Amino acid sequence: MAQLWGGRFTKATDQKVYDFNASIGFDKRMLFQDICGSIAHARMLGRQGIISETDALSIEEGLKGIFRDVSEGKLKITSKYEDVHSFCEAVLTERVGEAGKRLHTGRSRNDQVALDMRLYTRGVICTCDELLNELLKSILEIMKSNTDTFMPGFTHLQKAQPVTLAHHMGAYFEMFKRDRKRLRSIYERMNECPLGSGALAGTTYPLDRDFVAESLGFDRPTSNSMDSVSDRDYLIEFLDALSIIMMHLSRSCEEIITWNTNEYRFVEIDDTYSTGSSIMPQKKNPDIAELVRGKAGRVYGSLMGLLTVMKGLPLAYNKDMQEDKEGAFDAMDTALSCIDLYSGMLKSMTFNKDIMARSALGGFTNATDAADYMVVKGVPFRDAHSYVGRMVLYCIDKKLSIDEMSLEELKKICPVIEEDFYDAVSLKTCVDKRLTKGAPGPGAMKSEIEESEKFISENAVLKDPLEAFILM
């Protein structure tokens, strides 16, 4: 047990209490952020004359040494320390002596942890944005090469109207595009530096909060010290964004699982992304898609967990807030690996274009177009709807599709039908005629693809400013 706060106590902490209270087991992953924050703080203390420039320098060198040694495996972060902040300060003091003890001047672990968590989250937001951008590029490739790959569009999981694979994938492009926009807006809102807020009420030292904020790549320091040490909104927003990403991935995985069944065979998941059965030799299972679908629940759980942790907390810092970490880290690890794995699965997947097109021919996906044909010939839509309904019943009985009916059979139900009906209800016409913005028709799809390309080229991936903070 190495504690920062022993002075006021006459008895040692019970071991079970110590273990229960400690966060080192999970906050050690914020070592880099903690050290960058401490270096920025020490440089500022030196510049402001709050500590000597010599002390500031030896603190900086000491901290860099700690980071180097941990990275190289020469120094272990052990449960001897309560949290990553105590670890750094204790080891620093062992290494550089007196100066180490001056590092925490004008700082509390409350604003320190608020800073570390924000820095860590900001970095993950950037990685997430990069992964989503890669995913968007893969989806766009599939769109570009499948503008004439016909497939049924579904409602209620019943065949509805024909679309193309480009159009179907375009829907996911939009979802992940919005996810990227959400990340950017969270980033912009959260990019304020909480350091300098002290325990809750600022400090009496003449800290230069602007300097620290700028050194760490923040847009500005936060405005209210009580809010700064007790705000986890940004994390809730990010967990919310991750939950939505997981929901999008999960919906697509659900479709891939269905499309990969023996019954559909729209797609074939690559061997490298499939798994087998220990008993049934014939099996090739879509485990990765199922796991991504399943892991969505975990990420939602972290969001619910943190909302619940925060809902009853009086201002300002409360130890409950240490509970933000494990769930959030797990959600971040989970969502990032899901985006990555899903991208790989998608890229290596084969689309059985013939089977998709054949499927689009069945199930009366051209029924609406048949009604639209009659409307053009002067039949009111409601009557046309009813005629086509009768055609469908007739076809079900005779095991035909609408375009397999003879002109004579068609005319019996609706006299305005002529020879040109067959072309009007062909799969190609059904898709080609859908020309409204956002529809699967070739013209509309061309503009959608152009817009999508533009989005990618105009929206550079978010970059973590902390990458510029060199410690090695």
Binding test (CB under 6 A) with ligand ARG, winner from 41, 43, 107, 109: 109
∠ CA 451-457-460, nearest 5°, is 130
52, 71, 79, 277: the catalytic one is 277
Residue among 172 and 317 whose Cβ is closer to ligand ARG: 317
| Binding residues among 112-171 for ligand ARG as defined by CB under 6 A | 113
The radius of gyration of the chain's CA atoms, rounded to the nearest angstrom, is 30
Binding test (CB under 6 A) with ligand ARG, winner from 60, 83, 237, 369: 83
- Smallest gap, in angstroms, from Cβ of residue 24 to ligand ARG? 8
Q: Which residue is closest to ligand ARG by CB?
A: 322
- Smallest gap, in angstroms, from Cβ of residue 209 to ligand ARG? 19
Q: Is 319 exposed, middle or buried (0-12, 13-18, 19+ CB in 10 A)?
A: exposed
Stretch that binds ligand ARG, among 99-107, 108-116, 181-189, 431-439 (CB under 6 A): 108-116
Q: Is 371 exposed, middle or buried (0-12, 13-18, 19+ CB in 10 A)?
A: buried
Q: Other CB atoms closer than 10 Å to residue 355's CB: what's the count?
A: 16
Does 110 contact ligand ARG by CB under 6 A? yes
Residue type, 41: H
79, 156, 168, 228: the catalytic one is 156
Q: What is the DSSP pairing of strand 267-268 with strand 350-351?
A: antiparallel
- Smallest gap, in angstroms, from Cβ of residue 117 to ligand ARG? 8
Interface mask toward ligand ARG for 9-28; x: CB under 6 A: --------------x---x-
Q: What is the DSSP pairing of strand 220-221 with strand 192-193?
A: parallel
- Smallest gap, in angstroms, from Cβ of residue 81 to ligand ARG? 11
Residue among 85 and 159 whose Cβ is closer to ligand ARG: 85
For the chain, the straight-line distance linking the first and the last C-alpha, in angstroms and rounded, comes to 29
Q: Would you say 169 and 142 are in contact if contact means Cβ atoms under 8 Å apart?
A: yes
- Smallest gap, in angstroms, from Cβ of residue 157 to ligand ARG? 46
Is 41 annotated in the active site?
no
Residue among 23 and 274 whose Cβ is closer to ligand ARG: 23
- Bridge partners of 153, per DSSP, are 161
C-alpha dihedral sign at 107, 108, 109, 112 = negative
- Which residue from 89, 115, 102, 113 is spatially nearest to 57, judged by alpha carbons? 102
Is 457 annotated in the active site?
no
Binding test (CB under 6 A) with ligand ARG, winner from 132, 241, 321, 338: 321
Residue among 58 and 86 whose Cβ is closer to ligand ARG: 86
Q: What is the DSSP pairing of strand 158-164 with strand 220-221?
A: unpaired
CA distances from 347 to 135, 163, 465 (A): 9, 21, 30
CA–CA separation, 187 and 122 (whole Å): 7
Residue among 322 and 401 whose Cβ is closer to ligand ARG: 322
Q: Which structure tokens are listed for 319? A: 């130890």
Q: Which structure tokens are listed for 192? A: 């304020």
What beta strand segments (E) does 55-157 contain? 150-155
- Smallest gap, in angstroms, from Cβ of residue 327 to ligand ARG? 13
Does 319 contact ligand ARG by CB under 6 A? yes
Does 356 contact ligand ARG by CB under 6 A? no
Helices 367-376 and 381-398, packing angle to 10 deg: 140
| Binding residues among 299-318 for ligand ARG as defined by CB under 6 A | 317
Phi and psi angles of residue 401, each rounded to the nearest 5 degrees, phi first: -105, 165
Does 322 contact ligand ARG by CB under 6 A? yes
- Smallest gap, in angstroms, from Cβ of residue 45 to ligand ARG? 20
Does 30 contact ligand ARG by CB under 6 A? no
Give catalytic residues, as residue numbers: 156, 277
Contacting residues toward ligand ARG, per CB under 6 A: 23, 27, 83, 109-110, 113, 317, 319, 321-322
